[in-house]
Amino acid sequence: MTTGRPPQIVAFGGGGFSMEAGNPLLDDYVLALAARERPRVCFVPTASGDADHYVVRFYRTFSTRCDTSHVSLFRRDRGDGAVEGDLEAHLLAQDVIYVGGGSVVSLLGAWRAHGLDRVLRAAWRRGVILCGLSAGSLCWFQEAVTAFHGAPTVVRGLGLLPHSNCVHYDGEPERREEYRRFVGDGVTPGYAADDGAALHFVGRELRRVVSSRPRARAFRVEPRDGEVVEQPLAVSYLGDPRLDLAVA
């Protein structure tokens, strides 16, 4: 079975239902990519430790217009409505897999222990749209900057996208400095995104940057002539009534 879609990832610097209550622009953008009346959307809240309130907010946001489910790696024995049995078959049958925020280090550790890293790679190849914010953005990249516990550090992600990633770029000034320093020191060049900005990759290439906020920015960060350059990217604000994504 294939979806007929190319591999796609929408990586939010921050935003979506858990950070932008009342602003559905980024989530709507992802659902539209599924091109289906009732997309199958599975939430993976591992990075938050499967926090109950987070799972509830996911269902509140999506259950009226999508076929919703969630994966719990902490409460597999409790029968609380989470996917049981064959996780792989379930995930491969989705239109969208939505990964929540939290600690990317804990996320990757738990995924690897359950073989979910392999399953998500297979889902991506098959055309299941992968999206997420914060840790749920960082995880798809080769390398990622996390400042979750203490000072910013670089962690290895799943490597579906051969770039580095830095999220909440507008949130904390030291992140910006550290990210540029890391790239200068040999970390894979990559992309930084503000809260409200989302990087949409088709295959391994960046197709476009969209945003739920008029002033959210995104950057390509790479070394050039011995310096680290922060190249601003064109961002399409999804709330702009004149926006026509077909030609964006």
Partner 1 sequence: MTIRDRLRGDPQILAMGGGGFTMEPDNPALDDYVLSLVKVPEPRILFLPTASGDPTAQITGFYARFARRASASHLSLFRRHGSARSLADIVLEQDAIYVGGGSMRNLLAIWRAHELDALLQEAWRRGIVLAGLSAGAMCWFAGGVTRSGGPLETIEGLGLLPGSFSVHADGEPERLPVWLAAVRGGELPGGWAADDGVGLLFRGTRMVRVVSSRPGTAALRVDAVGDELVRHRIEPELLGTAPTLGERPVPDEIRELRELRQAMRRG
Asked if 163 is an active-site residue, the reply is no
The reply to whether 102 sits near partner 1 by the rule CB under 8 A is yes
Residue 33 vs 105, nearer CB to partner 1: 105
Q: Which of 70, 163, 168, 200 is catalytic?
A: 168
User: Residue 84 Cβ, how far from partner 1 at the closest point, in Å?
Assistant: 7
Q: Name the amino acid, one letter, at 75.
A: R
Name residues contacting partner 1, limited to 63-82 (CB under 8 A).
Answer: 73-77
Using a 10 angstrom Cβ sphere, with 0-12 exposed, 13-18 middle and 19 or more buried, the burial of residue 49 is: middle
Question: Can you tell me which of 28, 38, 89, 109 binds partner 1, judged by CB under 8 A?
Answer: 109
Which range touches partner 1 (CB under 8 A), out of 104-112, 117-125, 183-191, 196-204? Answer: 104-112
Q: What does the block give as tokens for 147?
A: 């400042």
83 binds partner 1 (CB under 8 A): no
202 contributes a contact to partner 1 by CB under 8 A? no
The minimum distance between CB 190 and partner 1, in angstroms, equals: 21
Does 246 interact with partner 1 (rule: CB under 8 A)? no
Binding to partner 1 (CB under 8 A) within 140-199 occurs at: 148-151
Q: Which is nearer to partner 1, 149 or 242 (CB)?
A: 149
Q: Does 230 contact partner 1 by CB under 8 A?
A: no
Whole-number minimum distance, CB 106 to partner 1, in Å?
A: 5
Instruction: Note if 63 is an active site residue.
Output: no
What are the DSSP calls for the chain, one per residue? ---S---EEEEESS-STTT-TT--HHHHHHHHHH-SSS-EEEEE-GGGTS-HHHHHHHHHHHTTTSEEEE--SS-TTS-SSS--S-HHHHHHT-SEEEE--S-HHHHHHHHHHHTHHHHHHHHHHHTPEEEEETHHHHTTEEEEEE-SSSS-EEEE---SEEEEEE-STTT-HHHHHHHHHHHHTTPPPEEEE-TTEEEEEETTEEEEEEESSTT--EEEEEEETTEEEEEE--EEETT-TT--TTT-
Q: Which of 69, 134, 164, 212 is catalytic?
A: 134
Among 114, 126, 207, 208, binds partner 1 (CB under 8 A): 114
Alpha-carbon distance 101 to 95, whole Å? 20
Nearest distance in Å: CB 73, partner 1: 6
- Phi then psi dihedrals of residue 205, to 5 deg: -100, 145
Instruction: Please name every residue paired with 69 in a beta bridge, in sequence order, or none if there are none.
Output: 42
**Counting contacts by CB under 8 A, is residue 37 touching partner 1?**
no
Nearer to partner 1, 41 or 47 (CB): 47
Catalytic residue positions, numbered? 134, 168
Binding positions for partner 1, rule: CB under 8 A = 47-52, 73-77, 84-85, 102-103, 105-106, 108-110, 112-114, 148-151
